Structure 1
Amino acid sequence: MYQVLLADDEQSIMDSMLNHIPWAQYNMEVAYTATSGKQAYDILVNTPPDIAILDIRMPGYSGLELCRMVSKQALKTQVIIISGYAEFSYAQKAIQYGVLGYCLKPVEYDEVTGLLLKAIRNLQQSTPSLISSDDFLAAVDGNDTDKISRYLEENGILQDSYYFVSSVSDAPLQLPGTLSFRVGINHYGYLSCSPYDRNLLEEASRSPGVLGIGVYPLAVTARDFQMAFYKYTSMAYHFFMDPECRICDTYHDFHSVPLMLQIQKAMSFAEKERLCELLTQLKEGDSYKQLSIHSAQLLYNLIMSNPQLVVNPQDYMLYNYRQLVHEYASFTELLDSLLQLINAAPETHEESEGLSNVYFLRIMKYVNTYYHENITLRDVAKMVNLNPNYISQLFKKSAGTTFSHYLTNLRITNAKKLLTTTDISINEISLKTGFNDYFYFLKTFKKYTGHTPSEYRNLSYERD
Structure 2
Amino acid sequence: MYQVLLADDEPSVLESMKEHIDWEQYGTQVAYTALTGKQAYDILTTSTPDIAILDIRMPGYSGLELSRIISQNKLKTQVIIVSGYAEFSYAQKAIQYGVLGYCLKPVEYDEIASLLLKAVRNLQKQTQANSSDDFLEAIENDDIDKITAFLKRQQYEYDVYYPLASISEHPLGIHDTLIFRIGPSQYGYLSASPVDASMLHTLSAQESVHGIGYQETPITAVQLRTALYRCLAMAYQFFIDADCRLCCHYHDFASLPFMSRLQSALDFGDKPRICDLLHALMKEDSRGNFSIHAAQQLYNMIISNHKIVENSQDYYIYNYKQLVHEYDSFQDMIQSLIQIVEASCEQNPGQPDLSNSYFLKIMKYINSCYTENITLKDVANVVNLNPNYISQVFKKTTGTTFSHYLTNLRIDTAKKLLTTTNTSINDVSIQAGFNDYFYFLKTFKKYTGKTPSEFRNGV
TM value normalised by structure 2 = 0.79
Assess, with a 3 A threshold, how the Cα gap between structure 1 residues 68 and 238 changes in structure 2: closer, same or farther.
Answer: closer
C-alpha spacing 1:406/1:38, structure 2 compared with 1 (3 Å) = same
Could you tell me which residue of structure 2 aligns to residue 210 of structure 1?
A: 209
Q: Shift of residue 260 of structure 1?
A: 2.6
Cα distance change of structure 1 residues 327 and 53 upon mapping to structure 2, 3 Å threshold: farther
Q: Structure 1 residue aligned with 2:352, among 350, 353, 364?
A: 350
Aligned pair partner of 1:113 in 52, 67, 71: 71
How far did residue 407 of structure 1 move?
A: 0.2
- CA shift at 1:258, angstroms? 3.1
1:3 Cα offset (Å): 8.3
Maintained 8 Å contact 2:310/2:392: no
Query: Are the aligned partners of 1:214 and 1:247 in contact in 2 as well (CA < 8 Å)?
Result: yes
Q: Measure the CA separation in 2 of the matches of 1:201 and 1:45.
A: 45
Alpha-carbon deviation of 1:381? 1.1
1:301-316 superposed matches below 5 A: 301-316=300-315
Deviation, 1:134, is 1.2
Letter in 1 for 2:71: T
Task: In structure 1, give the amino acid aligned to 2:234.
Answer: M
1:379 deviates by 0.9
How many residues in Structure 1 have an aligned counterpart in Structure 2?
406
CA distance in 1, matches of 2:185, 2:50: 38
| Structure 1, unpaired ranges of 5+ | 10-33, 57-61, 92-101
CA contact (8 A) 1:52 1:79 kept: no
**Structure 2 residue identity aligned to 1:390:** Y
| Cα displacement (A) at 1:456 | 0.3
Q: Tell whether the 8 Å contact from 1:182 to 1:189 is kept in structure 2 after alignment.
A: yes
In the alignment, residue 184 of structure 1 is paired with which amino acid?
G
Q: Give 1:130 shift.
A: 11
Query: Counterparts of 2:421 and 2:322 in 1: how far apart (Å)?
Result: 27
For residues 247-303 of structure 1, what are the alpha-carbon distances to aligned partners after superposition, in whole Å with 9 as ceiling and x for unaligned?
Answer: 111111154363232112112332211111111112224222221101000111111
1:3/1:343 CA distance change after superposition, 3 Å: farther
- Cα deviation, 1:35-75, whole Å, max 9, x if unaligned, reads 94444454799559689999x9xxxxx4459859979xx99
Partner of 1:282: 281
Name the amino acid aligned to 1:140. Answer: I
1:224 counterpart residue number = 223
Query: Equivalent residue for 2:436?
Result: 437
Q: How does 1:221-370 map to 2 (within 5 A)?
A: 221-256=220-255, 258-344=257-343, 345=346, 346-351=348-353, 356-370=355-369
Asked if 1:190 is matched to 2:189, the reply is yes
Alignment partners' CA distance in 2, 1:421 and 1:347:
50
Alignment partner, residue 137 of structure 2: 138
Identity %, equivalent residues: 48
1:357-382 CA-partner distances (Å, limit 9, x unpaired): 11111111111111111110011111
Q: How far has the Cα of 1:337 moved from its partner?
A: 0.8
Residue 446 of structure 1 aligns with an amino acid whose one-letter code is K
SS of residue matched to 1:290: coil
Q: Does the C-alpha gap of structure 1 residues 286 and 296 become closer, same or farther in structure 2, counting only changes over 3 Å? A: same
Amino acid at match of 2:378: D
- Structure 1 segment 372-383 matched on structure 2, within 5 A: 372-383=371-382
CA RMSD of aligned residues (A): 3.6
Asked if the contact 2:280/2:286 (under 8 Å) is kept, the reply is no
Secondary structure of 1:459's counterpart equals coil
Does the aligned pair in 2 maintain the 1:241–1:293 contact within 8 Å?
A: yes
More displaced stretch, 335-344 vs 267-276: 267-276
Query: How many Å separate the matches in 2 of 1:444 and 1:38?
Result: 53
Alignment check: 8 A CA contact 2:234 2:247 kept: yes
Q: Find the aligned partners of 1:399 and 1:69 in 2 and give their Cα distance.
A: 50
Find the residue that maps to 1:182 and give its secondary structure: strand
Q: Is the 8 A contact 1:70 1:77 kept in 2?
A: no
What do the CA deviations read for 1:373-432 (whole angstroms, capped 9, x no partner)?
111001111122111011111211222110000000000000000001111111111111
Distance 1:258 1:314 in 2: 26
Cα distance in 2 for partners of 1:217, 1:264 equals: 33
Q: After TM superposition, list the pairs within 5 Å mapping 1:74-93 onto structure 2.
A: 76=49, 90-91=59-60
CA separation of 1:187/1:244 partners in 2, compared to 1, >3 Å: closer, same or farther? same
CA distance in 2, matches of 1:454, 1:68: 27
Which secondary structure state, in structure 2, belongs to the residue aligned with residue 242 of structure 1? coil
User: Taking structure 1 as reference, are residues 225 and 112 closer, same or farther at Cα in structure 2, changes over 3 Å only?
Assistant: closer
Q: Work out the CA distance in 2 between the residues paired with 1:429 and 1:448.
A: 16
Cross-structure match for 2:386 = 387
Aligned-partner residue type, residue 236 of structure 2: Y
